[in-house]
Amino acid sequence: MDDLIKADRLKRFLQNLVLIFAILRLTNYFVQILSLQIISCVIMLFVIAYSLPKMDYISRRVILGMFLIGGILLALSSTTAKQWLMALLSNANLATLLILAPMLSAPFFYEDYQSDLKTLAQAKMQTILGFCLLTTVASHIVGVLVGVGTVIIMYDLLNPLQKMYNAETPFLKALSRGYNSSGFWSPAWGSVIVYSVYPDVKWTTIVPLAIIFAIIFNGISLGSLYFETKRYPNRYKTLHPDTNTPIRWNKIAAMLALALAMVGTIVVLNKITKWDLMLVVPIASIIFPILSAFVQNKWQPYKGEMVKFYNTSLIKVQSQVALYAAAGFLGKAMDISGVGAMIPKLLPHWLISYSPLMIAALVLLMIIPSLIGIHPAATGTAMVTALVPASLGLDNYTFCLTIIFGWLITILASPFSATSLILATNTGRSNWAVSIIMNWKFCLACLIVFSYLISLIGPALG
């Protein structure tokens, strides 16, 4: 009995620490105090130390390996204590988003909207392909406006429906690919750095083409899911309409209004404040459920969802904080040590004569390092700042489209991207299973298709 009490106290203590960490990070955005950074770093390291023994063998080795390699690089670079601190906190804002964003979906459970969605699916989306199309389109549209918070939002909203089809993997594919396709043209993505580096490359010029690219990207995804259902016709359930239960369109409309209000909250905060999106989404996660409870007078359901968030989400997220921290630490260490800037120099000179191969090589130079935790923000930024497109045989538009495509496909493939870690947290699968293992064939097909398309269309834009 005493052991159970001690274990429960430790669990509560860790949950409180995770919350304090998130609050400190939000505070530190507005108040740049070194002591707050140190305290949040100590809390993070404590949570990591507790989480590591509970992880599977491979994840534990990967995390320790990233910390070890990053530590060696920083030690050899004679970095200051403050640089070590910044490296450890490199992904702290992402961790904060991961911790708080699950609250965003709370208002969708103040009432039993899921039953109404189930009835709608049975009547209008009887096959898994219809559901995957809905997931893809919704994830893309919300992704353009909201960014990485989309993955948490759409997972919480649509996961109950996928269980009706017995189709978790197709759902995860449609969700992650639909969201990542928003990277072709969304201003919420970090890849928009290319527009500030190359003034002659206009976002407004790229947008129409980028939307077509997104349609092709998702078309390949849905096509592969179609062939999968044909190959395994008995794997996924077909729904049958429930004639005894009518569709309550007022509830569907209320849910759509909530979705628009949620996205609107994030967009308005982003436009009015100009805060970083990594700050906007967590703050919206706090504000939106309270506003929804106030407008609908749903304080009891609100309290219930917050208890659920505290008892469930804050436990699941702890191991993912370790992965975020390790990946960010290694990426920052490579940036500080200069190793990241050396990656683009690995390109062989003879590729200049073959544009599609040069484009594919640039994308692979983003994908391969991501498999050991180096975010495309590190490699992509290094490429944009260190490479001259003309020296690669590419014009500026072609090079920018390459970086944008490489960025989004790398996030889809990387086991350490925010998308993969969020899905791993929610599903209980390994971050490898919901990234490269699930998507490698799709990523390979897209690499071939888009390397060729970009090499043809890019020069025509200039």
Q: Please write the tens of the pLDDT for every residue from 131-148.
A: 899 899 888 988 887 677
Note the pLDDT tens digit of each residue in 51-78. 888 777 777 887 888 889 889 988 888 8
Q: How far is CA 428 from the centre of its chain?
A: 16
* pLDDT, position 90: 81
279 token code pair: 């700050």
Q: According to the model, what pLDDT value does residue 190 have?
A: 65
pLDDT in tens, 323-370: 778 877 887 887 788 776 676 677 777 888 889 999 999 999 889 888
Instruction: Check whether 278 has a pLDDT greater than 80.
Output: no
Tell me: the pLDDT tens digits for 371-397?
Answer: 876 767 667 766 776 677 888 888 989
Q: Is the pLDDT of residue 1 over 70?
A: no
**Mean pLDDT of all residues belonging to the chain:** 84
Residue 452 and residue 355 in contact, taking contact as beta carbons nearer than 8 Å: no
Instruction: Output the pLDDT for position 405.
Output: 95
The predicted model gives 186-199 an average pLDDT of 71
Is residue 37's pLDDT more than 80? yes
In this prediction, residue 173 has a pLDDT band, given cuts at 50, 70 and 90, of very high
What does the pLDDT average to over 104-114?
A: 81
Whether the pLDDT of residue 277 is over 70: the answer is: no
pLDDT tier at 177, thresholds 50, 70, 90:
very high
Q: What is the dihedral of CA 312, 161, 253, 137, to 10 degrees?
A: 100
In whole angstroms, give the CA distance from residue 437 to residue 430: 10
Q: What is d(CA 133, CA 171) in angstroms, rounded to the nearest whole number?
A: 10
Q: Is the pLDDT of residue 436 over 80?
A: yes
Q: Which residues are CB-contacts of 290 (< 8 A; sequence separation ≥ 6)?
A: 302
Higher pLDDT, 40 or 326: 40
pLDDT band at 402 (very low <50, low <70, confident <90, very high): very high
Burial grade of 78 (CB within 10 A; 0-12, 13-18, 19 or more):
exposed
Domain residue extents for the chain: 2-97
Reported as half-sphere exposure (CB side, CA atoms, 13 A), residue 204 has a value of 2
